[in-house]
Amino acid sequence: MQSNTIRFSCVGCGVCCKGRLIPLTLAEARQWLSRGHDVSVIIEAFDEPTWPRSSQEFDHARGRSVSVRCGNTRIRVIALFAGKALEQCPNLSADNLCGIYEERPLVCRIYPMEINPFIALRQDNKACPPHAWESNDVICTDGRADPALGALINQSRQADISDASSKVAICAQLGLNVTSWKDNALAVYFPQREKLLEAIHRAKGTPEDYPDCEWQVRVDDPSLRERLTASAVALAANESAEYTFHVL
Ligand code: SF4
Ligand code: SF4
């Protein structure tokens, strides 16, 4: 049987370090902020009818999320912390090499592999130039990452699970209470650096420690608004200066 092998070796072009948000674990976000750089917060939510309960997608999303009260029901919220590299990563050197190579975030070590188990690695979805894919180094065979990369991917997925409650609690503490709806849009906050760092240092364990936080969902799509209203979800106004809103 022929195997589907993907070969790759980073050529140090630095393209993947520019024009994006860099997903971080909670510990990495603390380090990123401590170095004097900004971290954005992306909040998304879903509810049980989003996927069949027995599906792998539901299990994956449930592990990365926490249940919070929203209106007269409960939703599950995922908070993603991401280093701001919208022009370019603040750690990128003039020679396009990583200035914190030994301490770079997990996601930078894993790229171009996918962390999400439901997204297949595709060369045309990646920033890497064609000659990076002409290497002899095998990174993936029949959809399986090579063992070293696989261990990093597992570490990243595990951090998503173990950080989930603290990250949502930090959002509640900072009053970042409006979430987008999964696969519909992204609500992106750019909290002030010192405030976010302080909130991370002060973080209590769970969102239940912030009972005054009134979670709301921002949805602009009329049919989804109707579905969520019928489910007793509290909806936010269709405009806000508190976050940027990107419909997917
Ligand atoms: S931390 Fe390093 S590898 Fe990661 S995006 Fe920044 S410069 Fe690139
Ligand atoms: S875009 Fe690809 S080849 Fe270029 S630095 Fe990033 S990982 Fe390496």
User: pLDDT tens digits for 88-101?
Assistant: 999 999 999 999 99
Q: Could you tell me the pLDDT band of residue 190, with boundaries at 50, 70 and 90?
A: very high
Q: Is 215 in the pocket of ligand 2 (CB under 6 A)?
A: no
Tens digits of residue pLDDT in 9-47 = 999 999 999 999 999 999 999 999 999 999 999 999 998
What's the CA gap between 124 and 108, in Å, rounded?
Answer: 18
Whether the pLDDT of residue 50 is over 90: the answer is no
Q: Could you tell me the pLDDT band of residue 63, with boundaries at 50, 70 and 90?
A: very high
**Which pair of tokens denotes residue 5?**
């092998």
Q: Is 108 in the pocket of ligand 1 (CB under 6 A)?
A: yes
**All residues at 6 or more sequence positions from 100 whose CB lies less than 8 Å from its CB, including other chains:** 35, 91
Q: Is 98 in the pocket of ligand 2 (CB under 6 A)?
A: no
- What is the residue-averaged pLDDT of the chain? 93
Ligand 2 pocket, mutate which of 8, 10, 125, 126 (most atoms under 8 A from CB): 10
Residue (of 241, 245, 246, 173) closest to 204 by Cα position? 173
Q: Could you tell me the pLDDT band of residue 213, with boundaries at 50, 70 and 90?
A: confident
Q: Identify the pLDDT of residue 2.
A: 53
Query: What is the DSSP pairing of strand 39-46 with strand 73-88?
Result: antiparallel
Q: How crowded is residue 212: how many other Cβ atoms within 10 Å of its Cβ?
A: 7
Of ligand 1's atoms, which has the minimum distance to the CA of residue 14? Answer: 8
Q: Where are the alpha helices (DSSP H) in 76-146?
A: 106-110
C-alpha of residue 112 to centroid of ligand 1, in Å: 13
Q: Is 17 in the pocket of ligand 1 (CB under 6 A)?
A: yes
Q: Is 149 exposed, middle or buried (0-12, 13-18, 19+ CB in 10 A)?
A: middle
Of ligand 2's atoms, which has the minimum distance to the CA of residue 11? Answer: 3
> What is the pTM for the complete model shown?
0.93
What's the CA gap between 227 and 202, in Å, rounded?
Answer: 37
Q: Is 113 in the pocket of ligand 2 (CB under 6 A)?
A: no
Beta strand extents in the chain (DSSP E only): 5-7, 18-24, 39-46, 66-70, 73-88, 138-141, 144-145, 178-181, 185-189, 216-217, 244-247
C-alpha of residue 26 to centroid of ligand 2, in Å: 24
